[in-house]
């Protein structure tokens, strides 16, 4: 009896201590670096090097070279944001940076000539330890409009389109020879994603294909680093469900899982999520979850609207549940102890008079060309991000839980990742950047542990005051372990501190952690 009493007291103490600890947890910004820039300078692209720090790249616009060449600056900082090395290289003035990748001890930059995106490719391989730069000329290797860029060991994987058909090519850095994958080139298909599996030295290509019955499914194609096909599996779907987008896990002992969205037609807004499990023996199973079936999908709405939507989905019409259409943008899957979680952002396309050439986060900080290629992006000027839905599933493809974070109609000029996650055993931290503030929320599976809160970006000196900032250029990304980094451009005034300029314009990076 006494033993049971002490056991209950211990449980209550653990719960109370956990609640106390969460209440007092907060955002910390233990490091910051500022790079002073002129008003007409080009801005830096940031590559996360995980525990090796970050790499900054920018094109020097000052006319200190001939009219045929431009200098590019490289800066590497460690995880304390202390400079490790600085390097420069010179390239043809017409080359522009398309994207980047980082694998193990090398960073990769892909360039092309400004007048022709489909040809005249140049690759730079940068040794992270030393800053040494190698150049690879792919000017006549492959022709396509590039949307995806990845690397695996000594191979470069390019994905894109040629004559409106998806193309994936593997280029050997040793021979400079390209292999165009014949299993992808299809006029009734779209390239969905390319996933690198460094552990197994393979990569997976997801392609949305139209079948003979005019329904759309996703083909999961596994290749080795030379571009040889290992396995080609089409997800078996139902006639009224078109699979529109997806993200795939690495292959493990149980097989491979795909989380994606579906609709009743290829170009319609999404109606729910699917989770497909392709087992090692080739068998497969798939689960469909309408948005209305999820516990928290509508939790970003006001209580009255949320209750109204839930009542609508409980009702039956002609034997079928009510459907809700919503466009969703999928982010990459994040491994957890029990499986994977992912962010799917609900958005609306904005057709307005806003300048479509206006700077965007993606323009300055490309993430390997982004995640999904969506032709609709060419027809709109902006996207209004409304909420982030978090989906968790286990290693057998079973839905575990869902949650949501309200985004307050954050407007971006391209479809890109906004909310980043750090999963921990007893909680998940969700964070994004908005109007010079860090916005975060803490959840534990289906429960919200700490509602959305805001934290200002910490400046370098105590007397610093922000005069202005450029919200199109600011952003936040997950870095490594529990750490994020925030970045942006700020105009700062300081009239008090000695030895500090009264006015300065800086590009900054802040290290961020929640603990």
Give the pLDDT band of residue 337 (cuts 50, 70, 90).
Answer: very high
pLDDT of residue 271 exceeding 50, the answer is yes
Give the pLDDT band of residue 472 (cuts 50, 70, 90).
Answer: confident
Distance, CA of 485 to CA of 334 (rounded, Å): 18
Residue 443, Cβ neighbours under 10 Å: how many?
Answer: 22
Query: Which two structure tokens, joined as six digits, stand for 456?
Result: 């200002």
Give the pLDDT band of residue 145 (cuts 50, 70, 90).
Answer: confident
- Tell me the pLDDT tens digit for each residue of 193-214: 999 999 999 999 999 998 877 7
pLDDT of residue 93 exceeding 60, the answer is yes
- The whole-number pLDDT of residue 379 equals 61
Residue 311 vs residue 104, higher pLDDT:
104
pLDDT of residue 17 exceeding 70, the answer is no
Give the pLDDT band of residue 169 (cuts 50, 70, 90).
Answer: very high
- The whole-number pLDDT of residue 239 equals 84
- The whole-number pLDDT of residue 5 equals 54
Distance, CA of 274 to CA of 406 (rounded, Å): 22
- The whole-number pLDDT of residue 310 equals 76
In a domain, 11, yes or no: yes
Give the total residue count for the chain.
Answer: 515
| Eight-state DSSP code of residue 468 | E
Helices and strands in the chain: count of H runs, count of E runs = 3, 36
Report yes or no: 233 and 218 within 8 Å, Cβ to Cβ. no
* Of the ranges 63-67, 348-352, 364-368, 422-426, the best mean pLDDT one: 422-426
Report yes or no: 184 and 193 within 8 Å, Cβ to Cβ. no
Give the pLDDT band of residue 473 (cuts 50, 70, 90).
Answer: confident
Of 238, 258, 421, whose CA–CA distance to 334 is shortest?
421
Query: Which two structure tokens, joined as six digits, stand for 417?
Result: 């990742």
% of the chain at pLDDT higher than 90: 64
For residue 243, the SS3 value is: strand
- Tell me the pLDDT tens digit for each residue of 353-392: 444 333 333 333 334 443 333 333 446 788 999 999 999 9
Number of domains comprising the chain: 1
Range of the domain at 9: 1-36+422-441+449-515
Give the pLDDT band of residue 1 (cuts 50, 70, 90).
Answer: low
Distance, CA of 183 to CA of 205 (rounded, Å): 10
In a domain, 468, yes or no: yes
In a domain, 476, yes or no: yes
Let me know if 225 is exposed, middle or buried by CB neighbors in 10 A (0-12, 13-18, 19+).
middle
In a domain, 117, yes or no: no
Of 133, 41, 122, whose CA–CA distance to 87 is shortest?
133
- The whole-number pLDDT of residue 229 equals 96
Query: Which two structure tokens, joined as six digits, stand for 503?
Result: 């006015």
Report yes or no: 345 and 385 within 8 Å, Cβ to Cβ. yes
Query: Which two structure tokens, joined as six digits, stand for 302?
Result: 């006001």
- The whole-number pLDDT of residue 18 equals 52
HSE-CB at 332 with a 13 A cutoff on CA atoms is: 16
Distance, CA of 290 to CA of 273 (rounded, Å): 6
Distance, CA of 284 to CA of 188 (rounded, Å): 24
In a domain, 279, yes or no: no
* C-alpha distance from residue 193 to each of 13, 38, 97, 241, 373 (Å): 47, 38, 21, 20, 8
Give the pLDDT band of residue 501 (cuts 50, 70, 90).
Answer: very high
Q: What is the mean pLDDT of residues 80-89?
A: 97
In a domain, 410, yes or no: no
Residue 45 vs residue 66, higher pLDDT:
45
For residue 68, the SS3 value is: coil
In a domain, 459, yes or no: yes
511 beta partners? 31, 485
Any alpha helices (H) in 256-391, and if so which ranges?
303-314, 361-364
For residue 385, the SS3 value is: strand
């Amino acid at each position: 009896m006494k033993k049971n009493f002490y056991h209950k007291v211990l449980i209550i103490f653990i719960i109370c201590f956990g609640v106390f600890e969460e209440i007092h947890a907060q955002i910390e910004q233990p490091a910051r670096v500022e790079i002073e820039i002129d008003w007409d300078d080009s801005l830096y692209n940031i590559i996360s090097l995980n525990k090796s720090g970050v790499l900054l790249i920018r094109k020097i616009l000052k006319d200190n070279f001939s009219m045929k060449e431009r200098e590019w600056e490289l800066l590497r900082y460690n995880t304390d944001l202390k400079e490790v090395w600085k390097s420069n290289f010179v390239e043809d003035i017409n080359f522009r940076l398309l994207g980047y990748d980082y694998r193990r001890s090398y960073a990769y930059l892909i360039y092309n000539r400004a007048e022709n995106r489909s040809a005249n490719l140049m690759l730079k391989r940068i040794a992270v330890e030393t800053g040494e730069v190698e150049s690879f000329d792919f000017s006549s290797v492959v022709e396509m409009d590039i949307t995806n860029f990845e690397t695996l060991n000594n191979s470069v994987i390019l994905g894109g389109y040629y004559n409106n058909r998806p193309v994936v090519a593997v280029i050997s850095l040793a021979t400079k020879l390209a292999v165009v994958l014949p299993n992808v080139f299809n006029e009734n298909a779209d390239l969905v994603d390319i996933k690198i599996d460094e552990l197994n030295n393979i990569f997976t290509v997801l392609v949305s294909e139209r079948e003979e019955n005019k329904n759309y499914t996703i083909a999961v194609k596994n290749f080795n680093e030379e571009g040889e096909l290992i396995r080609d599996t089409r997800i078996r779907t139902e006639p009224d469900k078109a699979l529109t987008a997806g993200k795939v896990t690495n292959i493990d002992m149980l097989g491979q899982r795909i989380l994606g969205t579906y609709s009743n037609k290829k170009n319609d807004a999404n109606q729910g999520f699917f989770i497909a499990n392709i087992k090692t023996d080739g068998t497969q199973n798939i689960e469909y979850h309408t948005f209305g079936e999820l516990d928290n999908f509508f939790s970003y709405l006001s209580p009255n609207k949320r209750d109204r939507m839930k009542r609508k989905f409980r009702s039956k019409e002609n034997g079928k549940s009510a459907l809700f259409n919503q466009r969703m943008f999928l982010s990459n899957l994040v491994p957890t102890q029990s499986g994977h979680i992912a962010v799917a952002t609900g958005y609306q396309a904005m057709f307005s008079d806003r300048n479509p050439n206006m700077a965007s986060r993606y323009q300055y900080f490309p993430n390997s060309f982004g995640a999904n290629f969506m032709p609709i992006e060419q027809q709109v000027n902006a996207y209004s991000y409304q909420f982030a839905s978090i989906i968790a599933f286990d290693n057998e493809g079973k839905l575990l839980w869902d949650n949501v974070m309200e985004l307050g109609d954050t407007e971006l000029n391209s479809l890109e990742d906004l909310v980043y996650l750090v999963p921990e055993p007893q909680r998940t931290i969700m964070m994004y950047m908005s109007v010079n503030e860090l916005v975060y929320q803490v959840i534990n599976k289906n429960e919200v542990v700490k509602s959305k809160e805001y934290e200002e970006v910490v400046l370098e000196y105590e007397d610093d005051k922000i005069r202005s900032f450029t919200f199109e250029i600011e952003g936040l990304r997950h870095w490594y372990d529990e750490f994020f980094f925030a970045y942006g451009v700020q105009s700062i005034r300081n009239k008090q501190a000695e030895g500090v300029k009264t006015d300065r314009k800086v590009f900054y990076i802040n290290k961020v952690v929640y603990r």
